[in-house]
Amino acid sequence: MTQISDAESRIMEALWRKAPLTAEQIIAKVAGPNGWAPGTVKTLITRLLRKKAIAGAREGDAYCYRPLIARSAYVHAESKGLLDRLFKGEVAPLVAHFADNQELTASDIRQLKQLIAKIEEDGK
């Protein structure tokens, strides 16, 4: 899968939420007082075009961009990479890390139990 930087992922998130968007619309979503300058956003758009993570085309009177990579595919690749790098590809040590280093809420524990039950049911 195409490597997308943290900065580029902000552009992708805007496009995953709503596409197509013009450069100006992307700038409005990620720039601003605590965001980037318009030139920075345009540079990131250009990088994503070169990586073929997004496509641009004229739509009516405007030039618009849309993602070529599904968010689910990106999340899968990123989470697998994290799991492989930090936990040798094993899920249990990741969950144990969070259990040991953060308080899991009752809701977190309930959701984990439901997930385990579903996995066990699907495996039968």
Peptide bond connecting 20 to the previous residue in cis, omega within 30 degrees of 0: yes
Average model confidence (pLDDT) across the chain: 91
Report pLDDT for 124: 57
Q: What percent of the chain is modeled with pLDDT above 70?
A: 98
Biggest CA pair distance of the chain: 55
Report pLDDT for 64: 98
User: Of all residues in the chain, what percent are helix, strand and coil, respectively (each to 5)?
Assistant: 65, 15, 25
pLDDT level of residue 1 (50, 70, 90 thresholds): confident
105 vs 40, residue with greater confidence: 40
> Residue 70, class by beta-carbon neighbours within 10 Å (0-12 exposed, 13-18 middle, 19+ buried)?
exposed
pLDDT level of residue 19 (50, 70, 90 thresholds): very high
**Residue ranges of the domains in the chain?**
6-67, 90-124
Measured CA to CA, the distance from residue 116 to residue 120 in angstroms comes to: 6
Report pLDDT for 26: 96
Is pLDDT of 33 > 80? no
Q: What is the sign of the dihedral through the CA atoms of 88, 89, 92 and 96?
A: positive
Q: Helix and strand tally (H, E) in the chain? A: 6, 3
CATH match of 6-67 with 3.90.650.10: no
The model's pLDDT over 41-89, given as tens digits with 9 standing for 90+, comes to 999 999 999 999 999 999 999 999 999 999 999 999 999 999 999 999 9
The model carries a pTM of 0.81
